[in-house]
A and B are shown apart, each in its own frame.
Chain A
């Protein structure tokens, strides 16, 4: 079992857009195995390759056991492996408070879609389309952001307060 060290902000690898994986071979299998094992050993619901220092477009997501899934509801694909994922369609709006294994000190109210359709390759290199909703949709968007060199800090929906004067809305 290879549990890798999780890279922490401000590690530059977290700010760098990842390269797509062009050939799925033994190295990809090793990377996916390490991602799964490291995710299992953490308290997170998703892990992207740059979080273990590899700048390639691969991530694993598993919301099945997370208690927040019960409150936020939505889909559940169990342990999902995505390679070169892309959001091809999105709907709805959520403003969850989000954190990240790589930015352990901070939380922020962010802006996310409530439902997304994702096109990706699976561990065998076959294309698959997933429709994810609710908490799982938030996790997918968070991990796909990592693969593009973005953190949840780029999705902040407002600063310091959730209440504004009506006058402030006349924008």
Chain B
């Protein structure tokens, strides 16, 4: 069975998930992992599906186009190699980093550049801009994989320097999991 990645995004309204999943169901495709969420007024879906043997992506192209027109969506499909469809083995201990403060240009770029320079992989990012009548705030939450615990102290120091230079607050802690 071949795997594909499908994304769809558009103005949030009832029926988007039903429309996309209906197309996959009608074509005998199995939906595997997915993430679907509303961001501001937009709804975005990112999912992996398995297609039956001999199936071609073009077969649902027309139906997706109709769906795009009817629901105002933007969609795309990308084939995956079989190794790409499997969950990756974690490359280290998961840590959560919180960064927040007054909004200013470059927060995401400078924090992610700091992590990339240390070859630290980001697995989740969530950012939020808040606005009051006085000022705008920015919150960036990241989940990262630290290949070795020795890196934590160095990373903390680098992020601390970066944050204080930008008037931000930063904290980092390991994700605790209880295996029962």
A residues lining the B interface (CB < 8 Å): 8-12, 15, 103, 105-106, 108, 111, 149-151, 153-154, 156-161, 165, 167-171
Contact = CB atoms under 8 A, between A and B. Distances in A.
B151 interface: no
Q: Is the interface of A mostly helix, strand, loop or mixed?
A: loop
B100 A168 contact: no
Contacts of B90: 167-168, 170-171
Contact of A106 (B130, B132, B177): B130
B103 interface: yes
Q: Is the interface of B mostly helix, strand, loop or mixed?
A: strand
A11 B167 CA distance: 11
Given A15-B169, A153-B100, A9 B137 contact: yes
A156 B96 contact: yes
Interface string B93-109: 11010101111000000
Contact of B124 (A103, A151, A159, A167): A159
Contacts of A171: 90, 92-94, 175, 177
A8 B179 contact: no
Contacts of B128: 105-106
16 contacts: A8-B134, A10-B101, A10-B130, A10-B135, A12-B101, A15-B100, A106-B130, A154-B169, A157-B96, A159-B141, A159-B143, A161-B35, A168-B94, A171-B92, A171-B94, A171-B175
Given A10-B103, A105-B130, A160-B126, 19 more contacts: A8-B134, A9-B100, A9-B130, A9-B137, A11-B135, A15-B101, A103-B130, A106-B130, A156-B141, A157-B175, A158-B96, A158-B143, A159-B96, A159-B126, A159-B141, A160-B124, A165-B87, A169-B179, A170-B89
Nearest to B103: A10
Please tell me the size bucket of the interface on B.
35 or more
Contact of B138 (A10, A149, A157): A10
Interface string B124-149: 11101010101111110111000000
Given A106-B139, A171-B93, A10 B124 contact: no
